[in-house]
Structure 1
Amino acid sequence: MNYTLHQLQVFLKIAQNESITKAAAELHLTQPAVSIQLRNLQDQFDVPLTEVIGRKLYVTDFGKEIAMAAEKILNEVHAINYKTMEFKGQLTGRLKISVVSTGKYVIPYFLSDFLKKNQGVELSLDVTNKIKVLKNLERNEVDFSLVSVLPDSLQIEKVELMPNSLYLIANSDQKTATGIQDKSIIETLSIIYREEGSGTRFVMEKFIENNQLTVPKKMVLTSNEAIKQAVLAGLGCSIMPLIGIKNELNNRDLQIIPVKGLPIQSNWNLIWLKGKKFSPVAAAYLKFIQEEKIRIIEQKFNWINVIKDVNHA
């Protein structure tokens, strides 16, 4: 037997996802690279680890046993690395955060300096939809979650990070009258929606409902990035968070249509389960956020105020 830690790591991801494609995406590798590692590991066993029926990959019972063993081995390796760092007097451990999809434009700036200062900390960051984020939190699988709409069903504590402003966005070819438009303009446009359960969709629908607007759902897309591309292509308009369209506004590929009652204001919140017992890493990160969030916002997100001032002028 001469298998490597890398082969075990790759196979564990394949077993967890039952998919070479998904494993490759999570490991940031190409599918051929993952397939090669699987084949090299399989060559060392006479019993198959996986089988393909139709176009679906299945992990055999033997493969499941190997995956469980691989997970234990990799956890022990992590423990050795942590112990080495601890011996040197460094903060060590894993920081686990789940983030709603639009939060990918926010959370890196609230992590960068902390991780640079504490190189013994390993980050596990899951960028996904709101439903999975809250499931991760409810199951206590993460230390923190980043959301823009607070959950009603969970007892949580929070740190408010920064405002989340949503504007009516169109591509640069969209013609409208000058000045601030009446809310009824939304009824005349082809509005692109996020998927059900999205925080962006929740606040957008609440705005439409509160203002008794009639807006048909002709197009529903599963991420703000997809909506942005659709708006750029001229497929419609949308009410979107400002945080994800900085470059497109600066390049004049997108425009904000000023509307009475907009922007919709919510807040980015770092949340955790009430009463959660923090690991040393999670406690250190919370302290860092509480002490440094104002500096980070002033240094990294001042452009938001500039764009707001221009569009309110």
Structure 2
Amino acid sequence: MDSRHLSFRLLQVFRQVVQSGNITAASRLLHLTQPTVSLQLKKLSEVVGEPLFDYQHQKLQLTATGELLYQAAQDIDDRLSEFSQQLKQQRSGQSGNISLAVVNTAQYLLPNILAAFDQAFPAVQVTLHIGNRARILERFEQQQDHLYLFSHPPRGDNVEARSVVPNPLYIVAPRDHWATEAGLLHFEQLKQERFLLREPGSATRMTFDAWLSSQATVLPHSMQIETNEAIRLSVIAGLGLAVLSAHTLPTQMLLKQQIAVLSVQGFPLSSHWYLVQHANKRLPQAALKLQQFIEQHLREWQDPLQR
């Protein structure tokens, strides 16, 4: 059989004839003439290469080949009906696959939101990619994902960025550090401390470096650490001070006084999280649903240090 000559229309006519029991009834339902239906059946038989009906009986009777083709036609119709339903759900945003890429710090924002989104839209599959700023910028340039979460969004005409939630940056210290009992501090009082810094290019580092530059201040002692989790553990261990996003400071950690947030003039530094998409990439409905969901839930976030 040369499937290149097989069409959905031929199979539709064939199925209708089988279900109607005769050509006359089928032609009426298909709004075709009887000769046209007969011609379509003849053409289909030629494509298959074998007769589909036994015309020696008064009633149309399928041959063994006709039975096989009818089962195949039913399977195709079922799959097309399923496809139509899936397409309807996808267009409405009720199903689909979404790729979301976020910088390391943003991973603290999303678990509860994605869990709630999964309950609301169980047929939508979300793939989450986490990396440093350079890696997520690379994914953005290559348009590998539908949505991105940055503290410092990329620039350019191909960037669509929405500010969704504040991202205040605080100076934190070990709980037994002398500065925890000092009240309001000036940064000059902390200048000689060792600061634990993220790698150059990270959003937190960029914001802090810009602030230091605006104050004409250089840190004499610093240590670079590539993850917020490692920085938090290092602060708790007494290795130094750090500037961290409020989103990386779990309420439970603050309640247990594992880490202290210092009161420093000029802090917290102000920054925001931005939900970003590539202007050249059209978002499917499911991704639009996730975008709206993230925006709505992030607006509900409250800085635990300002409550």
How would you bin the TM-score normalised by the shorter chain?
0.5 to 0.7
Corresponding residue number in structure 2 for 1:278 = 283
Contact 1:85 1:92 (8 Å CA) reproduced: no
1:13-162 map, 5 Å = 83=83, 86=86, 89=89, 91-153=94-156, 155-162=158-165
Determine which of 239, 244, 262 is the counterpart of 1:240: 244
Contact 2:173 2:241 in 1 (8 A): yes
Cα distance in 1, alignment partners of residues 84 and 186 from structure 2: 62
Residue 216 of structure 1 pairs with residue 214 of structure 2: no
Using a 3 Å threshold, how does the CA distance of structure 1 residues 114 and 200 change in structure 2: closer, same or farther? same
2:189 is matched with which residue? 185
Contact kept in structure 2, 1:85 and 1:120, CA below 8 Å: no
Pick the aligned partner of 1:268 from 265, 273, 277. 273
| Range with greater deviation from structure 2 (215-224 or 119-128) | 215-224
Decide whether aligned partners of structure 1 residues 111 and 159 sit closer, same or farther in structure 2, where only a CA change above 3 A counts: farther
Query: What is aligned with 1:253?
Result: 258
1:88, 1:278 → 2: CA distance?
A: 16
Q: Which has the larger radius of gyration?
A: 2
Distance change in 2, residues 1:89/1:203 (3 Å): closer
Structure 2 Cα separation of the partners of residues 165 and 261 of structure 1: 11
The range that moved more, 275-284 or 86-95, is 86-95
Letter in 1 for 2:265: K
Unaligned runs of 5+ in 1: 1-78
Matched residue type, 1:131: A
Divergent runs of 4+, >3 A: 82-85, 87-90, 287-290
Distance 2:260 2:222 in 1: 21
Describe the SS at the equivalent of 2:105. helix
- 2:205 alignment partner, SS class: helix
Quick check: 1:165 aligned with 2:168? yes
Instruction: Write the deviation string for residues 252-295 of structure 1: whole angstroms up to 9, x where unpaired.
Output: 011111111110010011101124311222122234345x33xx
Aligned equivalents of 2:282, 2:134: Cα separation in 1: 23
Q: Is the 8 A contact 1:154 1:273 kept in 2?
A: no
Aligned to 2:200: 196
Amino acid at match of 2:241: C
Secondary structure class of the residue paired with 1:225: helix
Residue 52 of structure 2 corresponds to: none
3-state SS of paired residue (2:191): helix
Contact 2:192 2:220 (8 Å CA) reproduced: no
Amino acid at match of 1:281: A
Give the fraction of aligned pairs with identical amino acids, expressed as a percent.
Answer: 25
Instruction: Decide whether the 8 Å contact of 1:143 with 1:282 is kept in 2.
Output: yes
CA distance in 2 between counterparts of 1:146 and 1:83 reads 32
Q: Which residue of 1 aligns with 2:68?
A: none
Confirm or deny: 8 A CA contact 1:193 1:217 kept in the other structure.
no
- Once residues 134 and 161 of structure 2 are traced to their aligned partners in structure 1, the CA distance between those partners, rounded to angstroms, is 18
Taking only aligned residues, the RMSD between alpha carbons, in angstroms, comes to 2.4
Instruction: Give the CA deviation at 1:223.
Output: 0.7
Q: Of the two structures, which has the highest relative contact order with CA contacts closer than 8 Å and spacing of 6 or more?
A: 2
* Counterpart Cα distance in 2 of 1:84 and 1:189: 64
Distance 1:109 1:144 in 2: 17
Whole-Å separation in 1 of the counterparts to 2:194 and 2:207: 18
Partner SS state of residue 194, structure 2: coil
1:152, 1:101 → 2: CA distance? Answer: 19
Counterparts of 1:238 and 1:208 in 2: how far apart (Å)? Answer: 14
Give the alignment's TM-score, normalised by structure 2.
0.67
Change beyond 3 A, Cα 1:84–1:206? same
Measure the CA separation in 2 of the matches of 1:248 and 1:213.
30
Structure 1 residue 84 displacement after superposition = 9.3
Q: Given the alignment of the two structures, is residue 206 of structure 1 paired with residue 210 of structure 2, yes or no?
A: yes
Q: Paired residue for 1:288?
A: 293
The answer to whether 1:307 aligns with 2:305 is: yes
Please tell me the residue identity of whatever aligns with 1:86.
Q
Equivalent residue of 2:218, what SS? coil
Letter of the structure 2 residue corresponding to residue 282 of structure 1: A
Amino acid aligned to 1:112: A
2:62 match? none
Farther-moved stretch of structure 1 (195-204 vs 150-159): 150-159
